[in-house]
Structure 1
Amino acid sequence: MSNPPLTAIHLGGPDDGPLLLLGPSLGTTTATLWTGVAQRLVDHVRVVGWDLPGHGRGRRAHPFTIADLAAAVLVIADDLNVETFHYAGDSVGGCVGLQLLLDAPQRVSSATLLCTGAAIGTPDGWLARAATVRAGGVDTMLAGAAERWFAPGFVDREPGTASALLDALSHTDAESYAQVCEALAVFDVTNQLSEIVTPVLAVAGSVDVPTPPESLRRIASDVKDGDLVVLEGVGHLAPAEAPQRVAGLIAEIVGVPQPPSKTLEDVHRAGMAVRREVLGEAHVDRAVAGTTDLTADFQHMITQYAWGTIWTRPGLDLRSRSMITLTALVARGHHEELAMHLRAARRNGLSNDEIKELLMQTAIYCGVPDANSAFRIAAEVLPEFDEHPGAPS
């Protein structure tokens, strides 16, 4: 086995601030799980997440272990030229955190481990789930996902957040999901917890079924320097269910001021972060550099309202928002914006085949001439993107 390549997801924050690396739960993405927490920390903390292989922006990988994932997280820190960092992870992301504390304790300043365990479930259970997903796809996991993930009533209270998380699960690569299950089947560091000397904050959801509070209590009591917090009325995905409370706990252990209520400047800052993530650093830098007295207010408005208010909403992931945006741009004939958002769609995880199907759909509902123009633009833009994958536009 070798280290799977992990894609760094930059969520904002000052370059000279302490680095916080975020790990996701099985079937989720950094964007859907952690955005609400990240937005509350980026005033003082540089926040970077990563997606599991075959999840979100994560590339598929050969079979791997939790130790392989931990080693790949260290590569992200190395690429960021950071020697020590803080870490927070939910579920399997928390398992990766425990492995980091064992394998590279000198690199991790603190760890916030949420809804996780030194071992989760049983080996037979994970192997059976891997076989089920390989045979029937990730749709086999959708039926009971809400009950596994969320506290009772959460879906009704926050339908947008819940649907975004379930949508991320539905787009997860089945083989990659199965490989994570197999990695969890052999993960058990219960007898090594006493070796961990880094400060650990174990955070449990009071109604978490997969990793109940006792699982986190075991971690907090067995490591050398551990504390336990139980969040009342929270299930398995605490960062999404209780972002304000989780952000406050992380701020305390990292040693930065508690996150205040969001201001308009916070909204603008979050908008600029997602704008850079979607459109690319070079594109946004050019737009900022080209700002004049005439266009400054317009640029500020677009960043605050389009990017900071709409693109950062938790109800849809970035991939889905790209699909909607492409359709709208085809319908209105906004060709310059279409070229820009075709590149953005690839950055957000859409494949060329998916874009083709989207444009085929627009031929029926927007009109053949509009779709014809869109295909012409796509034929120019997509080969350029594929020649330099992930390059800023």
Structure 2
Amino acid sequence: MTSPALRPILLTAAADAATGSGRSKPTIVVGPSLGTGAAALWGSTAALLAERFTVIGWDLPGHAGAEASEADYTMAELADAVAALIAALRAEGAIAEAGEVPLFYAGVSIGGAAGAQLGHDHPGLFDGISIICSAAKIGTPEGWAERAELVAAAGTPTMVSGSAERWFAPGFLEEHPQAGTALLHVLQNADRHSYAHACRALAGYDLREELGSITAPVLAIAGAHDAVCPPADAEALAAGVADGRAAVVPSAAHLAPVEDPEATAELLAAFFGSLTPRSGSAPAPRLPGDPYDAGMGVRRQVLGDAHVDRANAGVDDFTAEFQEMITRYAWGTIWTRDGLDRVTRSAITLTAMIAGGYWEELEMHVHAAVRNGMSAEQIKEVFLQSAIYCSVPAANVAFKIGQRVLAEYE
């Protein structure tokens, strides 16, 4: 047996080794499930994570065009191959060196099992691990041996029908035929011997008695409809590791990142975001569902990345809790509400800034109003209304600020 050679699949914008562009973002290494490829499985979720994370996937040998494996390997050897891949990416400058920015892992099914094995065999390599639609032990050794023998003899097309039933929640293939078909094509075209090698790796995989040695924070995610690795498996993982929690994606079965990219990305962003240190202070503890991450997303949409990045760069121990508060409550619980559209919220906010005489904030929110779709005519009407109900002198200052900001866009 020997560790297979893995190839990286860049799922978000590449880092520039010469300038370091993109290297300041935390990196998430994502793993596939058996029979799928990283791009087809993770593409939609990676796109949702791209603003905050660099996402790099890997493919199993013989899957999605990757080089076939020549011999059986164990899950420990697969984990070693992922660790070797990370070392190679660091040597190439594709991702930051250890300790520069956080490095995370997320994997589905066999990719999730590889994540558990990595946490066990390579402590300290990852700052956090998400094990998705997986378990500390999957199936039985006899079942995997039988499948390996069948596929080695008859090919992966024998798995397509059964996998379509196991992989997806009821109705998914009818509603999302393109996404489902792309994954099933990867399965049908996978190298049969490589698929069998992966089956035999799973046959020997069992970390149930060794979960306590995994010290990296773990988020175990299950699909509510998953018959292969049901939610109880995620709960057992979370309970068994040193620092674990579990979550369920209600709409998913066995391939959560493609079945519900939004829910999967939200869970991962919240979990990995809670483990990402701020400059000059410790990370804030946040659990999945915390409005902070939704608030940060809206804050960036409304105010722009440049403004938010400047604000975050200035955070220190004195201001950190205030910044957390406004992101969590102003942006995460008010601006995310459905009751008013963003143009209306901008109109209300402009009026409040004029009434309070908060001129620096008014300038920022004129920019935000334009980003939210307000026209110059609508902004003028808000200022005219404010002249009557706030004061003419206040509206006079507002018009000067608005004129200056709108001229930048013209």
Q: Which has the larger radius of gyration?
A: 2
Amino acid in the other structure paired with 1:59: E
The answer to whether structure 1 residue 68 and structure 2 residue 93 are counterparts is no
CA shift, 1:16, in A, is 2.1
The answer to whether structure 1 residue 80 and structure 2 residue 89 are counterparts is yes
What is the correspondence of 1:1-393 to structure 2 with a 5 Å cutoff?
A: 1-13=1-13, 14-61=22-69, 62-81=71-90, 82-83=97-98, 85-255=103-273, 257-258=293-294, 260=297
CA shift, 1:77, in A, is 1.3
Structure 1 ranges of 4+ moved more than 4 A: 256-263
**Under a length normalisation based on structure 2, what TM-score does the superposition of the two structures give?**
0.62
Q: Which runs of 5+ in 2 are unaligned?
A: 14-21, 91-96, 277-292, 302-410
Amino acid in the other structure paired with 2:112: G
Q: Which runs of 5+ in 1 are unaligned?
A: 264-393
Percent identity, aligned pairs only, is 41
CA distance in 2, matches of 1:104, 1:142: 34
Amino acid in the other structure paired with 2:23: D
3-state SS in 1 of match to 2:44: helix
CA distance in 2, matches of 1:203, 1:57: 28
RMSD: 1.8
Q: Is the 8 A contact 1:40 1:260 kept in 2?
A: no
Amino acid in the other structure paired with 1:28: T
CA distance in 2, matches of 1:148, 1:260: 33
Amino acid in the other structure paired with 1:27: G
CA distance in 2, matches of 1:233, 1:41: 19
CA shift, 1:80, in A, is 2.0
Q: Is the 8 A contact 1:7 1:57 kept in 2?
A: no
Q: Is the 8 A contact 1:202 1:226 kept in 2?
A: yes
**Under a length normalisation based on structure 1, what TM-score does the superposition of the two structures give?**
0.65
Amino acid in the other structure paired with 1:60: A
CA distance in 1, matches of 2:207, 2:246: 18
Equivalenced residues, count: 264
Task: Tell me which moved more, 54-63 or 176-185.
Answer: 54-63
CA distance in 1, matches of 2:185, 2:114: 24
Q: Is the 8 A contact 1:70 1:100 kept in 2?
A: yes
CA shift, 1:260, in A, is 4.6
CA shift, 1:3, in A, is 1.7
CA distance in 2, matches of 1:10, 1:4: 19
3-state SS in 2 of match to 1:151: coil
CA distance in 1, matches of 2:123, 2:267: 21
CA shift, 1:129, in A, is 0.4
Instruction: Output one character per residue of 1:25-70: Cα deviation in whole Å (capped at 9) or x when no partner.
Output: 0000001100011001111211100000100132112221111111
Instruction: Output one character per residue of 1:91-129: Cα deviation in whole Å (capped at 9) or x when no partner.
Output: 000000001001111111001110001010000000000
3-state SS in 2 of match to 1:86: strand
CA distance in 2, matches of 1:103, 1:33: 26
CA distance in 2, matches of 1:217, 1:161: 28
